[in-house]
Amino acid sequence: MPEENGKEVVFILTREDVLECASEMGIPQEAITDDVFYQVKKGVEWGLECWSEVMKEAINMALKS
């Protein structure tokens, strides 16, 4: 299980993940500059503001399986 700062991690997205998604979209790797990456990071953080609701649903689904 991945760890960060000595703690188990549930989910991590990296620059490589961003580049892979861009590639799947037909966007060249060179287009993902540090500025673009920072903007993507902020957008994902904003999109995951409701992460606790997603986590609760995942827990419920796991308990039902």
The 10 Å CB-count burial string (b at 16+, else e) for 5-34 is eeeeeeeeeeeeebbeebeeeeeeeeebee
Cα distance between the two ends of the chain: 21
pLDDT computed for residue 7 by the predictor: 85
Per-residue model confidence as pLDDT tens for the chain (65 residues): 566 677 898 888 999 999 999 999 999 999 999 999 999 999 998 888 888 998 999 999 999 98
Number of domains making up the chain: 1
**Residue length of the chain:** 65
pLDDT computed for residue 33 by the predictor: 97
Check: pTM over 0.85? Answer yes or no.
Answer: no
Where in the sequence is the domain holding 22, given as residue range(s)? Answer: 3-64
pLDDT computed for residue 1 by the predictor: 58
Alpha carbon 37 to chain centroid distance? Answer: 12
Residue 8 phi/psi, 5-degree rounding, is -65, 145
pLDDT computed for residue 2 by the predictor: 66
